Each structure stands twice: as structure tokens, then as C-alpha cells.
Amino acid sequence: MTYPYVAHLAVVAVDRDTGGLDVRRYLVAYDIGRPINPMLVKGQITAGVAQGIGGALYEKFLYDEFGQPLAGTFADYMMPTAREVPPVEVLITEDAPSPLNPPGVKGAGEAGINAVGAAIASAIDDALGQQIVVTRLPVTPTQIKRALQCNPGM
């Protein structure tokens, strides 16, 4: 059992007129014991965050009444680009090396994506006045706009 420890932090800006969202800053702090290749781990985490932003804000599989996908190509399927993904700040620590193997390593593969949706949802709720607005992903400008119209005091 070589569990890592991770924390995600997202800072977002919400356009109250359009419901649009901009991820301004993203930080991942990750204790994986002794990193064998820190640059590889940072790249893996950064790619996971980009994928997580896609799941949190853009990507949704929609089907018609016959079960056929509505997005047949990437031209029809929303994914984040370099414009939507901020530079990801990654802090790798060695606070608690694993005692279960000689180099003290832990797993490092999943931490980039697992918490992104929750971090972004919490950042949106915080930006809107700490109301629980986000209850499902992906979050769309329409959802944010509807929440603002239903609760003008946010």
C-alpha cells in the first residue's frame, strides 16, 4: 500500500453577465514519497489537470433518441485547449516516503485528474458567494447564469 497524498487548489473568475468561466490559477501539491523522475511526474499531473478541466467544464457525451453520439468528430465535441488550461503549478514533496519499499516511492498516476472537478466546483461556489451552485459536471455557462438569475444576491 503506497498511497500518495494530494491537494488541489483552483482559482476561477466568473463573468456574471454571461456565466462564462475562466480558470485563472491551478495548483497541485503532491506527496509521492521519493520521485524517481520529478519532471515526468509534473508532466503527468499537468496532463491530468488538463483532462480534468475538460471533464469539469467542457466534455459531455450526448446521444440522440436512438443511442447515436451527437458529437461524431472532435469538431463537435468540446475539449479544453491551451487557452482554457492555465499553467499548472505543481509542488512535489517528499514528506512521507513509503516505508514499504527501499526507494520510498508511492503511486503518482491518478492525482492529476481525480480532484479537478471538485476543486473547480468549489472555486465556482466560492466565486458566487459560497452557495452550493455546482451539483454536477460539466458546469456550463447556462447553469451558472441560471443560478445567478435564481439567486440575484450571489
Active site residues: 110
Instruction: Give the separation between CA 61 and CA 83, rounded to whole angstroms.
Output: 22
How far, in Å, CA of 37 to CA of 96, rounded? Answer: 17
Reported in sequence order, the residue ranges of the chain that DSSP labels E, i.e. its strands, are 5-14, 21-31, 88-93
List helix spans (H) across the chain.
38-53, 116-127, 141-150
Q: How far is CA 81 from CA 40, 53, 99, 104, in A?
A: 21, 10, 40, 36
Q: Do the Cβ atoms of 58 and 80 come closer than 8 Å? A: yes
